[in-house]
Amino acid sequence: MIRWRDVGEADALCLARCAYAALTVCFWPFKSPRWLAELGTEHFHPPLGPFSMADGYPGFGWVVLVEVVVYGLFALWVTGRGGWVVGASLTAGLTLLSGFCYAAGKIDHDFVILLAPLLLSVSGISPQRSLMFCVGMYFASSGMAKVVGHWLDPGTQASLSWALQYYHGSGKEEFLLRWSLENLPGWAWEVVDQLTVLFELAVPLGMLPRFRKWIVLSVPLFHFGTVLVFGIDFARLMLVYVPLALVCWGETKGGAVLELGRRGRWIAVGLCWLGVVAALLHLWLRGRMGSVPLPVQPPGLLLFPLFELLVLGGMILRRRSGKAGAYSGSGT
C-alpha cells in the first residue's frame, strides 16, 4: 500500500498521514470561505500574492465543490496512493480555501502547515526532513514578518505593544502578563523583541543534524514563555509535530520501529475514512465544519507546549536508544 525502504518507515509514514488527516478533520478543520462570498467585493482584501489577482470571493457552489474534493483527497491520501500528485492536489485545495478565507484581511502562517501533505508524498525525500522544513519555515516566516514590522528597531518595543493590547484590549490576564507589565523595564521588552526575532529566524537550523537537538528542545521552551506571558495558542502546530514524532520513531533502527502490519494499516486508514465521512455529513447537515473543542484557555494552553516537550524529548531519546541498539548489535 505504501512503498518505502523499510517496513517500519512505511508504517510510520502511514500513521503520520493518518494523524495529520485526523487532527485536521476532528480538531482543526481547514479554513473555508463558504460564507464570505456574501460580504461582497468591498470586503475582499487579499494579502500580497496570487489571491490578489482575483476580483472577489468565489461563489458558494465553487467553495462547496472544492471542500468535497478536499475531503475526497484526504481519503485517498491516507492510503498512500497517487503519490505526489494526490499530495500536491490536497495541498493546493487546502491552500485555495485558506487563501480566500484570509482574504478578509487576517494573515496567518497556515500556508506552511498546508505544505505537509505534499512534502509527505514526495518519494526520495526523508519525511522527517520535510516536516522539520515545515517547522523551520513556520518560524522563519513569522520572524521575517517581524523584521519587516520593525521589531529590530531599538525604539519600537513591539512585544510590549502586543502585551498592552492583549491586557487592555482583549482583557487577557495570563499567568505572567500583568506581572511583566508592572515589573519589566523598557530595555527588557526590547531584549524580548530582539531574541524573539533571532530565535524564529534560527529555527530552520534544525534541518542540520548538528543543531537539531538544541532547536527541537528550545522550541517548547519558547512556547512555554509565550503562553505564560501572552496566552497565544500554538496548538495548531500539532498538525506538524505529531507526524514528525511518528516518522522519527519509525526511522529508529534499534528495535523501536513502529510496525503495524497490513491489518493495522487498514484499521488506521479505515478510522480516517470514517472521520472524513462523518465530517462531510456534519458539513452537509449542519452547514458548517465541526470540531472537537480543545481546552485553549488557561490553564489548558499549557497542555500544548507540555505535550510538545514530551513528544520532542521522546523523539530524541528514542533516536539515542536506536543508535545504541545498532552499536550493540554490530558488536555481537
In order, the DSSP letters of 271-311 are HHHHHHHHHHHHHHHHSS--------STTGGGHHHHHHHHH
Could you tell me if residue 270 is inside a domain?
yes
- Does the pLDDT value for residue 225 go beyond 90? no
Q: Stretch 252-267: mean pLDDT, rounded?
A: 67
Check residue 65 and give its pLDDT.
92
Residue 66 contacts residue 97 (beta carbons within 8 Å): yes
Residue 182 contacts residue 170 (beta carbons within 8 Å): no
Q: Give the C-alpha separation, 81 to 168, whole Å.
A: 51
- Does the pLDDT value for residue 218 go beyond 60? yes
Tell me how far the alpha carbon of residue 70 is from its chain's centroid. Answer: 18
Helix (H, G, I), strand (E, B) or coil at 105: coil
Check residue 298 and give its pLDDT.
62
**Residue 294 Ramachandran class (φ > 0 left, ψ -120 to 50 alpha, else beta):** beta
Q: Give the C-alpha separation, 55 to 47, whole Å.
A: 13
More confident residue, 114 or 310: 114
Check residue 118 and give its pLDDT.
93
Q: What is the pTM assigned to this prediction?
A: 0.82
Check residue 107 and give its pLDDT.
61
Instruction: Quote the number of domains for the chain.
Output: 1
Q: Give the C-alpha separation, 217 to 215, whole Å.
A: 5
Q: What is the C-alpha radius of gyration for the chain, rounded to an integer number of angstroms? A: 21
- Does the pLDDT value for residue 315 go beyond 70? no
More confident residue, 120 or 323: 120
Q: Which of 139, 131, 141 is nearest to 107 (CA)?
A: 141
Helix (H, G, I), strand (E, B) or coil at 10: helix
* Stretch (H or E) spanning 237: none
Could you tell me if residue 1 is inside a domain?
no
- Does the pLDDT value for residue 253 go beyond 60? no
Q: Which of 8-22, 41-55, 81-95, 220-234 has the lowest mean pLDDT?
A: 41-55
Q: Stretch 311-326: mean pLDDT, rounded?
A: 58
Residue 273 contacts residue 75 (beta carbons within 8 Å): yes
Residue 205 contacts residue 211 (beta carbons within 8 Å): yes
Q: Which of 177, 191, 178, 193 is nearest to 227 (CA)?
A: 177
Tell me how far the alpha carbon of residue 327 is from its chain's centroid. Answer: 34
How many other CB atoms sit within 10 Å of the CB of residue 246? 26
Could you tell me if residue 2 is inside a domain?
no
User: Whole domain around residue 254: which residue ranges?
Assistant: 7-331
Could you tell me if residue 133 is inside a domain?
yes
Confidence of residue 105 (pLDDT cuts 50, 70, 90): low
- Does the pLDDT value for residue 7 go beyond 80? no
Q: What HEC string does 87-100 produce? A: HHHHHHHHHHHHHH
